[in-house]
Structure 1
């Protein structure tokens, strides 16, 4: 029967992450009974594996052959993860997390399911996405990726698509797996072990998995591209021409009485900052943005990590039992524990010293520069004397499911209760207590004619106790979901029965995210990931799905879902899809639907958090008579953000048109064109945009002779604070519904498989090509849709996966390739245009971020005692990340481990 042959071909034709969900076309006339299956994106079980929406299936065997040791690494390397996604970097509150982002959309727009049920969302990511780092590789049977909107089926978050992780349920016996990975570059070693067992009885089946994984951190000093360096053609004496250093090393910050000058704390011409404060300090440097300023910069890469060290433990139990001939019980328990150690460089902070500091020469001969007494006088100080910041993240997930599936004479039914809870606790040490250092600074004693106490300018003056503090966080998110439905035939058409599914669900969500009292009050300097807030809500939903066989070769699907949220109200989302078999070997399909993402509880109720970064000081440019639009003055300051209870849902509209063609019995091809538009996107305004808008408001008001309005008149809830010399102190923002985007692309999948006397060959191609990517930006209160970003920096137009497998007897060799296309930068290559000839920068040559091709190889030898050994290498050619014009790189896209050799062993009983 052709149906069964093609179903088998799904696993035979295509290996690796470019796996093709091969079409199953109209079955021939046969008395053979064919089991109906449920596929991702539909609640109605059907015979056909290929429906109106595109689905890519990756089996456990293909995951292993791709060379990756974790589900997270495998998904992030898929061509469907177009613009890359977060993989668990260091120096932030997300160190323990990893995500997948279909169609280049937000991680919050990809719904992750575990056996068709919502996976626990991480409170670390504000309850907006699942942490795929918590999924045990050994428990996975396959992964189904639906690249179509599915809010009509699943509700919130399924805007860009759905990742459904299907767990092993039919395994029988015992299996032990072990693997170790060793990069050729420093850091990043990893190891994992798993134990899987399955028991069968006449009516029941039990599968359990235990997995342990650990990895080592990679320090920033371990890679040449994260160490400090001077830009090509730059001035090594100018801070602005350095990459990977911080201006907060040792810097006196004069107040008004001192002329607002920033200066190196000592004046010895024969000494460098490294001579005085240690090898991590660079300078003395000038700052071309502020002529006359000097500073001792700091090499934070000596102490900071790029990736975290992790230890993960997972346990999963799945049990099914036939209560009667028509009722089956399903129970599942899942526990995951992650421990992550995140090391950051010592705190960069400022010390207020209103009494000033006198100029004098220390006994060691260091000539200290005077800090003139002034209310705004102080010192930017890297607290290397207090040690590194260390954040230990502890993630625990508990997930319990119990469900019943049954059948009666005229209908099938199902009911399930799913509860999951995600707890995160962070113990942070090495942070600074705000304001405490002011009281610790010593003074000049006129009687002894010497300095008494701590002098932060003097490296030989010890920092007294009382400057440091902990930064601790506790986050918890829980979800209780009760759902059920009925599946039945409405009536019969000439081409077959009209099937319908109706269902309803009730969900309770809670979020409780807090930092310690001092951090909540803004008294801890150097922390990150502030309070996510606290809140709860319930969601009621009713949904339906109808399948209408219009004629033998034409099927129409209708679906709709109404969700009612207790905090913002209701939303209805329909979906229409159609599939048409032109001939047995050629399928046409199309779909249209709307989607939504509900604001998370953190979006609504998040407390104020503070983050530091560079802010363009448009106000200072305007004050100095410079053009606002061409301003190039940058300050390092804080941005304070928080939630907004007035937020509305994000909304989307998507459609897909595709063709699936069985070229021959051995070759299959599918091509899908898709479009996705999103509106009301929730985002935090960029601090520089808030400052720019304020400058524009001042410019307009001054031109009209009117009072200067505040930026909050355009962006409610925002404000700006400056210090006396006009530098940005901090900017206050909040979350708003201010974004929109337009995306279009083509996904191509090709699979082929051939048998011969010399072995079996399988090949696969997955190609994702972006035709358009436009995203809005805010400009003085208006939302401006950008030019097309597809193929520009951070948004590669091309992502390609290639797979090839060869097996002969007990030997198997597999290849996986991951291609990331080049990206045209926004930067003009210096010297590519002639300013004296009157040409503008737009006439110059844009810098291009190079493409990269990663290659993985895996060899497996099956031994005669139910065991096997595997040897492999990932990133065979030892590719480095590809760099932007300023020397930085996109950590979401590129591999930093470098060439990595690995070995694995499997024993089955």
Structure 2
């Protein structure tokens, strides 16, 4: 009964902004008054009602089951919780994300996971993951089987919880006083994905109690199968997506290329292609001219470069080249994962120290995840190499690019190598021990002291081409038997000679012995530790006419350490055409003291049934950047029955994550076209840029031929400080008393506004280059400002330092609307819930003098999202129908494109997802079955070259990539 009251009390008061319903009947006023004193997310003060100034959403385990979610991760990343903002999930396996591939995070209000604090039973969940950028809680570690409910606060709360609570707080509450034994099994199976992409969860939960003790725990196994690009129709053929028949059509097939080579972001590759110096030859279908430097094998060509047709060079479209092969469809659309989670909690009454209870929690989680990718291999054969056929011996492709030992490159082979695999294993442990009881010398005051230790220990492996082995394998001599051996075989006994340049080599037919020699697993390790010691006291201060003044005072110490050690080949830059990574190692610690007051000013007087003030304050002192203070004030005002006004205003902060302070120098690259001095003598170029490029001795028609190296590192040495923010929320709650038999209605609207200043960000290599070369020539000469971050060597190659600094400004503004209606109908009860999130502004800027760019309504940032469900419960049955909606989006205005004439498809229509389920509950067992995405709605599509895409759809977590999915959940208690 108590769990029922916890969830539905929030709903009736409409303080839970979009809380789903779980009860068949609503509690009466008498029921509400019997609720024990509890603590709800957003405050540390115990109270017997939910009239808090901040709106709180509650999601119960029963509602998550009815919606078909097989894990806490899925429920937390749903539109109802996130408001439609994009989240990092298992579709991001091929992208660089905090926590590494396989990590799943939550970020409220679209402000990223580092600005949302995740708690488990009111205590912060430490970051987990792999690679150097571990900085947010990984939702995979949460114990689904033991969870009772999830409380979501979309409001700044750093004065209550400390760092990271900028955009909101998510608190996962486990079951209390659980007794018995319960087995649960759930299976989710997509019906239109070749049987792939399904998930299974098995769990066992047990609890026992004695006169003075209690113990409970769970063991669970979760498995999600891989979903590949081959498994869904909208990912099987990635097209350019241009409008008005402007897609490039392959002249060989008269169809789309299925893996386009268009502008930035389209993921295209060149394969089955030979690169040479300019040579005369026969044009392939779609190519023009007689001189080419890119060739495709064609045995029918008997003149020019015999056996090859020209597919590139001069003004030829790069799409003429081969860009697709079937193995590309083996790439992960949703990466597979296997998770084992153990959770236990226990308590023992001492009958001493103020009727104290000693308590503890233990959490162990093991995640094994992997991702399948596709690799292109570019092999440079030195001029004069015996591996180059005689008819190509005169070709000079380029200067040495790192594989030819200083010799010019004769030819380059663009090879479709095939699939590669990345793997991660993350072992997360968390232990909590504490004591809580009454302060005997202060009536009704309690204390709670605890210590927790968390450890995330991971290994991560990726398959890489090792540069030193490629170099030695390409330096060959004849073995005297018609084959080749490595020239330096004596120094490298295991060296295997590279394959000769043949049509088979270009097609990816590579000797296994050679592949095994040059393509090797590279493994790194990551360890993240956090220790937290906290102490709190709460109780009444004194009595006012309107009630007791309640208070909470506390102190906390936290220390975090990170140690990421990439594989040695990654550290030394020995991974070919892949970024290098240095060791990330550092620690930080903080002392904090904080307090909270709740003051009942008026109660049950004319025009003030209730007026309550709430305030909190926190003093913070970090080792890394010093001290800071935050505060928050809130108000609840009920002038008459059924009408409540509420509001909060406060400040929050986010301390720089350890990786932002200490991440080891990591190298990456920009295209050579990003050199700001390219063709700087052209008309209408910024005169400062002209002067600065000339000062470097570059010709006016300079063209960069090398990639721009980008080095990313932490900002600790430059004095990285904390982000600061202000948060404003004001709301109205209406609970009109309807005539008898009309049911119960509640409506709430809340306006929110979050402004982050001094945001921790990287400037961006492009921004650095622009601001350096367009700066005052005197500043440029003296390496002032951004020019300190740019260097150019004697050959003209550029290197940019792109470290973490305090720069960005982020603003989010909008409204949350909630409607809840309940009515007895026939033998049961009908319940309707509607939650709408509106974003009126999602803006940011990098520099103080930049204009704010508003992204609300653009691709990946819908202005509106909504969820609605209608359920009907009678006897042992409950049926539910739910709808999720994501508003249409368009980016035409931002890019200055006229939608009537633009060749780009930069708009998506409204997206609707329908879900249905039915549940039968008997005395000792419950079965729930249903379908998610009932109408099998595919994501909308956009053009390549503008946004990151999955197949032809935007990479956006608000869309369902699985398609129609049937699910069944069985729970049996013993």
TM-score (norm 1): 0.86
**Residue 739 of structure 1: how far off its partner (Å):** 0.7
**Counterpart pick for 2:758 among 639, 657, 680:** 680
Moved more, 49-58 or 124-133: 124-133
**Residue 660 of structure 1: how far off its partner (Å):** 1.5
Alignment correspondent of 2:287? none
1:345 aligns with 2:355: no
Q: Relative to 1, partners in 2 of residues 1:15 and 1:877: Cα closer, same or farther, differing over 3 Å?
A: farther
Alignment correspondent of 1:837? none
CA contact (8 A) 1:283 1:296 kept: no
Q: Relative to 1, partners in 2 of residues 1:513 and 1:450: Cα closer, same or farther, differing over 3 Å?
A: closer
CA contact (8 A) 1:36 1:45 kept: yes
Moved more, 786-795 or 510-519: 786-795
**Residue 164 of structure 1: how far off its partner (Å):** 0.3
Q: Relative to 1, partners in 2 of residues 1:185 and 1:690: Cα closer, same or farther, differing over 3 Å?
A: same
**Counterpart pick for 1:188 among 165, 173, 197:** 197
1:73-84 map, 5 Å:
73-81=74-82, 82-84=84-86
**Residue 197 of structure 1: how far off its partner (Å):** 1.2
Aligned-partner SS, 1:902: strand
CA deviation map 1:103-149 (0-9, x unaligned):
11111000000000011212437332100122232111000001110
**Residue 592 of structure 1: how far off its partner (Å):** 0.7
1:541 aligns with 2:605: no
CA deviation map 1:59-99 (0-9, x unaligned):
11111111111111111113441322011232246322111
Once residues 641 and 197 of structure 1 are traced to their aligned partners in structure 2, the CA distance between those partners, rounded to angstroms, is 48
Once residues 314 and 725 of structure 2 are traced to their aligned partners in structure 1, the CA distance between those partners, rounded to angstroms, is 46
CA contact (8 A) 1:640 1:731 kept: yes
**Residue 882 of structure 1: how far off its partner (Å):** 2.3
Moved more, 120-129 or 821-830: 821-830
**Counterpart pick for 1:869 among 914, 918, 927:** 927
1:301 aligns with 2:328: yes
**Residue 870 of structure 1: how far off its partner (Å):** 2.1
Aligned-partner SS, 2:79: coil
CA deviation map 1:727-776 (0-9, x unaligned):
x8764421121211111110111112222323221111111100111111
1:206 aligns with 2:215: yes
Q: Relative to 1, partners in 2 of residues 1:456 and 1:250: Cα closer, same or farther, differing over 3 Å?
A: farther
**Aligned-residue CA RMSD (Å):** 4.0
Q: Relative to 1, partners in 2 of residues 1:290 and 1:735: Cα closer, same or farther, differing over 3 Å?
A: farther
Alignment correspondent of 2:501? 457
1:698-847 map, 5 Å:
701=777, 709=781, 713-715=784-786, 718-719=789-790, 731-777=800-846, 783-826=849-892, 847=906
1:525 aligns with 2:573: no
Gapped runs of 5+ residues in structure 1? 835-840
Moved more, 102-111 or 387-396: 387-396
Alignment correspondent of 1:66? 67
**Counterpart pick for 2:226 among 212, 217, 231:** 217
Q: Relative to 1, partners in 2 of residues 1:831 and 1:742: Cα closer, same or farther, differing over 3 Å?
A: closer
Alignment correspondent of 1:234? 247
Once residues 137 and 287 of structure 1 are traced to their aligned partners in structure 2, the CA distance between those partners, rounded to angstroms, is 57
1:562 aligns with 2:596: no
Alignment correspondent of 1:423? 457
**Residue 337 of structure 1: how far off its partner (Å):** 0.6
1:489 aligns with 2:540: yes
1:897 aligns with 2:966: no
Once residues 871 and 163 of structure 1 are traced to their aligned partners in structure 2, the CA distance between those partners, rounded to angstroms, is 28
1:433-452 map, 5 Å:
433-441=466-474
Q: Relative to 1, partners in 2 of residues 1:861 and 1:334: Cα closer, same or farther, differing over 3 Å?
A: same
Alignment correspondent of 2:339? 312
Aligned-partner SS, 2:328: helix
Q: Relative to 1, partners in 2 of residues 1:695 and 1:39: Cα closer, same or farther, differing over 3 Å?
A: same
Alignment correspondent of 2:492? none
Alignment correspondent of 1:838? none
CA contact (8 A) 1:147 1:162 kept: yes
1:103 aligns with 2:109: yes
**Residue 496 of structure 1: how far off its partner (Å):** 2.2
Aligned-partner SS, 1:660: strand
Which structure has the highest strand share of the two? 1
TM-score (norm 2): 0.81
Aligned length: 866
Once residues 824 and 867 of structure 2 are traced to their aligned partners in structure 1, the CA distance between those partners, rounded to angstroms, is 23
**Residue 536 of structure 1: how far off its partner (Å):** 1.4
CA contact (8 A) 1:12 1:762 kept: no
**Counterpart pick for 2:152 among 136, 141, 145:** 145
Gapped runs of 5+ residues in structure 2? 23-27, 251-256, 280-290, 402-407, 486-496, 604-609, 690-700, 738-742, 945-951
Aligned-partner SS, 2:152: strand
1:644 aligns with 2:657: no
**Counterpart pick for 2:143 among 119, 127, 136:** 136
Alignment correspondent of 2:665? 608
Q: Relative to 1, partners in 2 of residues 1:832 and 1:504: Cα closer, same or farther, differing over 3 Å?
A: closer
Alignment correspondent of 1:88? 90
Q: Relative to 1, partners in 2 of residues 1:670 and 1:532: Cα closer, same or farther, differing over 3 Å?
A: farther
Alignment correspondent of 2:942? 884
**Residue 150 of structure 1: how far off its partner (Å):** 0.3
**Counterpart pick for 2:128 among 102, 122, 125:** 122
Once residues 721 and 679 of structure 1 are traced to their aligned partners in structure 2, the CA distance between those partners, rounded to angstroms, is 33
Q: Relative to 1, partners in 2 of residues 1:831 and 1:493: Cα closer, same or farther, differing over 3 Å?
A: closer
**Residue 101 of structure 1: how far off its partner (Å):** 1.2
CA contact (8 A) 1:190 1:213 kept: yes
CA contact (8 A) 2:675 2:708 kept: no
Q: Relative to 1, partners in 2 of residues 1:748 and 1:707: Cα closer, same or farther, differing over 3 Å?
A: closer
1:175 aligns with 2:182: yes
Once residues 293 and 903 of structure 1 are traced to their aligned partners in structure 2, the CA distance between those partners, rounded to angstroms, is 46
Once residues 447 and 358 of structure 1 are traced to their aligned partners in structure 2, the CA distance between those partners, rounded to angstroms, is 14
Aligned-partner SS, 1:690: helix
CA contact (8 A) 2:860 2:956 kept: no
Once residues 352 and 641 of structure 1 are traced to their aligned partners in structure 2, the CA distance between those partners, rounded to angstroms, is 31
1:263 aligns with 2:336: no
Aligned-partner SS, 1:472: strand
Alignment correspondent of 2:635? 578
1:371 aligns with 2:396: yes
